[in-house]
Amino acid sequence: MAEHDTTVMEHDVHHDQGGSWDGGTAPFQASYGKLMMWYFLLSDAFTFSGFLIAYGSLRFSSPTWPVPDFVFSTAPFGLHGAPLIFVTFMSFLLIISSVTMVRAVQEGHRENKRGVVFWMLLTVLGGAGFLGCQAWEWNNLIGTEHMSVTRNPFGTHTEEGVYLGVDGKPGEEEVAAGQTFLLHMADLDPSLSDEAVIASFSGHGEEEGHASHAVNAYDKDYGFMYVDEAGFIHRKYVVTEGENPGEIMMEDYGPKAFGALFFGITGFHGFHVLSGVVFLLIILINAGSGVYAARKNGYEMVEKIGLYWHFVDLVWVFVFLVFYLL
């Protein structure tokens, strides 16, 4: 009987000291809220990974793909031929906003309400600036370059050749394999109609000289070309090297997947940035009103939104790599 009582007492002592059966121990010393944020970020990482892996698979299995230095060579204020300048500025804004987010978390640990509000405000401005830059880039690609989720006007030559010039004979302007092209009717001189000699019509124009669909034409600057119903110019060239030398080829649209993947993935990331800016504003207002100061928990909510914001910044590094560098 005494031995049995001793065993029961030992069990009670171990239980009181916090053994394996007491429960309530925070894993990795993280609160429930931070642990759930990590779960969300992990699942979101799988989603982005799936998108980027799909892009990489299509990118490297396609015989032709737009060259980023050509596609993203335009910047605001009429700046052209400056690849990566604008997107580098966008990335800089997002990276700096991640730094200001770190400072906000640090000030929260010090229970400094004014510091938290100040650094979070700078983070919001950085995120809003990034969204503004992305909006300009989308507007340029859709409105100026006429790219959509189903049409990619950025084609790439697959063979070496020479553009056709006067009288349909090979000119002096060479075509390099892998060279990206984009020509739209709006890019030509307004006097094209006076300079072009209409050879034939493939559409159904009601009157001669007024095609309702597509034309074959010649321009003194661009040589022989095909203008489709959407107003895109497809220049003609003769192959000089490769499997079919001497064959006359015509520039065509690039892979449709490029536009769909670009708008889909960057849009999905942009949605994350927009959501982050909204949540940052809400938490900023709460911090300024003293809600978190009363909790005396080191502004944990600021730390949780900080985890999300750093994740958004990290994902952009991979998006930047696959779309703008590869």
pLDDT tens column, 311-326? 999 999 999 999 988 8
Q: Which residues of 123-135 are buried (b: 16+ CB within 10 A; e: fewer)?
A: bbebbbbbbebbe
Q: Identify whether the C-beta of residue 168 lies closer than 8 Å to the C-beta of residue 197.
A: no
Is the pLDDT score of 14 beyond 80? no
Pair (317, 288) in one structural domain: yes
Is 26 part of any domain? Answer: no
How wide is the angle at C-alpha 271 spanned by C-alphas 313 and 146, nearest 5°?
A: 105
Pair (243, 270) in one structural domain: no
Provide the domain limits for residue 174: 155-253
For residue 89, the Cα-to-chain-centroid distance in whole angstroms is: 14
Is 76 part of any domain? Answer: yes
- Count of CB atoms situated within 10 Å of the CB of 181: 19
Final residue in a domain of this structure, among 253, 282, 300 = 253
Is 320 part of any domain? Answer: yes
Final residue in a domain of this structure, among 216, 234, 253 = 253
Q: Categorize the per-residue pLDDT at 202 as very low, low, confident or very high, splitting at 50, 70 and 90.
A: very low
Q: Categorize the per-residue pLDDT at 186 as very low, low, confident or very high, splitting at 50, 70 and 90.
A: low
Pair (224, 174) in one structural domain: yes
Q: What is the pLDDT of residue 180?
A: 78
Sequence length of the chain is 326
Final residue in a domain of this structure, among 253, 287, 310 = 253
Task: For residue 89, give the H/E element and its range.
Answer: helix 85-109
Pair (236, 160) in one structural domain: yes
Is 35 part of any domain? Answer: no
Is 64 part of any domain? Answer: yes
**Three-class DSSP category at 227:** strand
Q: Identify whether the C-beta of residue 154 lies closer than 8 Å to the C-beta of residue 71.
A: yes
Q: Categorize the per-residue pLDDT at 24 as very low, low, confident or very high, splitting at 50, 70 and 90.
A: low
What is the distance between the alpha carbons of residues 290 and 178, in angstroms, rounded to a whole number?
Answer: 59
Task: For residue 235, give the H/E element and its range.
Answer: strand 233-241
**pTM for this structure?**
0.77
Taking alpha carbons only, the member of 272, 158, 174, 292 closest to residue 223 is 174
Helices 300-320 and 32-61, packing angle to 10 deg: 10
Lowest mean pLDDT among 121-125, 197-201, 283-287: 197-201
Taking alpha carbons only, the member of 306, 258, 261, 298 closest to residue 280 is 306
Instruction: Calculate mean pLDDT across residues 183-189.
Output: 60
- What's the number of domains the chain is made of? 2
Is 10 part of any domain? Answer: no
